[in-house]
Amino acid sequence: MARFIFITGGVVSSLGKGLASAALGALLQARGYSVRLRKLDPYLNVDPGTMSPFEHGEVFVTDDGAETDLDLGHYERFTGVAARKTDSVSSGRIYSNVLEKERRGDYLGKTIQVIPHVTNEIKDFISIGEDEVDFMLCEIGGTVGDIEGLPFFEAIRQFSQDKPRGQCLFMHLTLLPYIKASGELKTKPTQHSVKELRSIGLAPDILVCRSEGPIPVKEREKLALFCNVRPDSVIAAQDLSTIYDAPLAYHREGLDQAVLDAFQISPAPKPDLTKWEDVSDRIHNAEGEVKVAIVGKYTQLEDAYKSIAEALTHGGMANRVRVKVEWVDAEVFDTEDAAPHLEGFHAILVPGGFGERGTEGKIKAAQYAREHKVPYLGICLGMQMAVIEAARNAAGITEAGSEEFDHEAGKKRFEPVVYHLKEWVQGNHKVERKVGDDKGGTMRLGAYDAVLADGSKVAEVYGGANIEERHRHRYEVDIKYRDKLEKAGLNFSGMSPDGRLPEIVEWSDHPWFIGVQYHPELKSKPFEPHPLFRDFVRAAKDTSRLV
């Protein structure tokens, strides 16, 4: 039966709970334990799928088709454990489940209340698969004191009481602000956060304190005394130059040892951190630099493209180069020439997105990359824009566009080389969708197979003909334009197994120009870079030597 670690946060949000959870999971793995990580989010959206990237950053998609919080991306990247639908839940999903049961009559006429019905639903969720792993790490979103988080805190309090003594541990992440004027590190915000936590019945076993520098002994002792934890359970989480130093940094601080001590696991297996030492070495000892432009529409919030930025870093590590990413707002190209903004870059990446805003700029970026022979990777919408560019400028379909933009505008303006996907095969059954369906969870989501053409660039990159990748889209390139586009030189080099859905396109006369309908960034890891990103950065590296 699993031991449970509950990770909570206080003082301010975005301190790095997800990263701390992921790093701890990696350290426990390094000691030979199996782990699974979960995220419990207090917001009322059923999932983040319908949220704007400006609100919540990127949406991470699992193999089984769940749209989840971006922290699950950290969990996967650090542990290599593929996340599942059962690893992410929100208040919206919990309340939705409770209300469905009430409508069905499952509660036999009882009055439905937060305690016990909502808290029991949360506890049931936490328990899923508890016999599969040694450690289950559950991160609670938000901060202590948030009114919407109270049912989750109450649920984990009850859960720890239901389990045998010593099977649950509470880790609390707080901020230790440094006041420059007085030259002091302030412990009071952490003290207040722990006081708030204790007032709802939870006592932290381990304090992880985010700070700019090391925590002096005097402050550690003060925190231990006033927060009622052992001095060696006060862990400093210092600012790092790269997130991939986190497992080694937390190990030096003694986080994994503090966890094992709290669970009274002794003697504990020694950790094998060779993998993370190699990762750190590749980042800090790069042998060059390449510049990559990401031409997108959510560039004001880098978390909107979190997995892409990380996958580029992984590609850089595989090639022993540092990838310098610059965010380019696609809307700039709507009114200006793309060339001055894209000159000097060694590669161009156009990511996914929704809606028409900024798409003409993405089309111009694809055109620039094609005409100037700059390595290009188009992901999801980035592939569709490359196809529209090819249709307009190479295949003579001057009015080419996407049905998505006509639906948004409410009138027909384009010849739809990209159309609304109404049916597709998932496993052994057919899925059907209509334009007017609800937005949440109705896309082609999760892992699907693709077959790569013999002799194609992508088959060479992947080193095989069959792949499985994660999707998240409603619109698809129309296969009926294949002949015209292939005559113009844009090859359909990857297809769904039934041959109906284009998965990959590539220009035959270009050194490296690939568009993919899926999201390869979601499966990239620092110790296992995704083949497409590895080769894309290699192509950028080759370009940098020519400039």
71 is in an annotated binding site: yes
CA 269/CA 80 separation, integer angstroms: 20
Residue 149 and residue 43 in contact, taking contact as beta carbons nearer than 8 Å: no
158 is in an annotated binding site: no
Buried b / exposed e over 423-452, threshold 16 CB at 10 Å, is ebeeeeeeeeeeeeeeeeeebbbbbbebbb
187 is in an annotated binding site: yes
15 is in an annotated binding site: yes
CA 213/CA 466 separation, integer angstroms: 48
436 is in an annotated binding site: no
521 is catalytic: yes
**Catalytic entry in 380, 389, 503, 510:** 380
**Catalytic entry in 253, 469, 506, 521:** 521
Dihedral pair phi/psi, residue 135, rounded to 5°: -130, 135
Residue 476 and residue 419 in contact, taking contact as beta carbons nearer than 8 Å: yes
17 is in an annotated binding site: yes
19 is in an annotated binding site: yes
532 is in an annotated binding site: no
CA atoms 319, 325, 329, 333: torsion sign: negative
**Catalytic entry in 56, 314, 473, 519:** 519
297 is in an annotated binding site: no
Residue 219: name the closest of 262, 247, 177, 169 by CA.
Answer: 177
441 is in an annotated binding site: no
14 is in an annotated binding site: yes
Dihedral pair phi/psi, residue 376, rounded to 5°: -135, 130
* Location of structure tokens 């870059």: 345
> CA gyration radius for the chain?
25
Strands 444-452 and 490-495: antiparallel
Q: Write the single-letter amino acid at 118.
A: V
191 is in an annotated binding site: yes
| Measured distance between the N- and C-terminal CA atoms of the chain, rounded to whole angstroms | 58
Element (H, E) at 125: helix 119-127
62 is in an annotated binding site: no
Dihedral pair phi/psi, residue 131, rounded to 5°: -90, 5
530 is catalytic: no
Residue 84 and residue 125 in contact, taking contact as beta carbons nearer than 8 Å: no
Q: Write the single-letter amino acid at 441.
A: G
383 is in an annotated binding site: yes
13 is in an annotated binding site: yes
Residue 531: name the closest of 492, 281, 523 by CA.
Answer: 523
Residue 340 and residue 308 in contact, taking contact as beta carbons nearer than 8 Å: no
185 is in an annotated binding site: no
Residue 257 and residue 28 in contact, taking contact as beta carbons nearer than 8 Å: no
474 is in an annotated binding site: yes
**Helix/strand/coil for 142:** coil
517 is in an annotated binding site: no
9 is in an annotated binding site: no
18 is in an annotated binding site: yes
190 is in an annotated binding site: yes
313 is in an annotated binding site: no
188 is in an annotated binding site: yes
**Helix/strand/coil for 184:** strand
519 is catalytic: yes
CA 283 to chain centre: 20
Four-point Cα dihedral 447, 475, 432, 471, nearest 10: 10
301 is in an annotated binding site: no
Enumerate the H helices of 200-273 as residue ranges.
217-227, 246-253, 255-262
Four-point Cα dihedral 315, 318, 320, 326, nearest 10: 0
353 is in an annotated binding site: yes
**Which residues line the annotated binding site for ATP?**
14-19, 71, 240
Binding-site residues from annotation for CTP? 13, 146-148, 186-191, 222
Catalytic residue ranges:
380, 519, 521
Annotated binding-site members: 13-19, 71, 139, 146-148, 186-191, 222, 240, 353, 381-384, 404, 474
The annotation places the binding site for UTP at 13, 186-191, 222
Annotated binding site for Mg(2+): 71, 139
Binding residues for L-glutamine: 353, 381-384, 404, 474
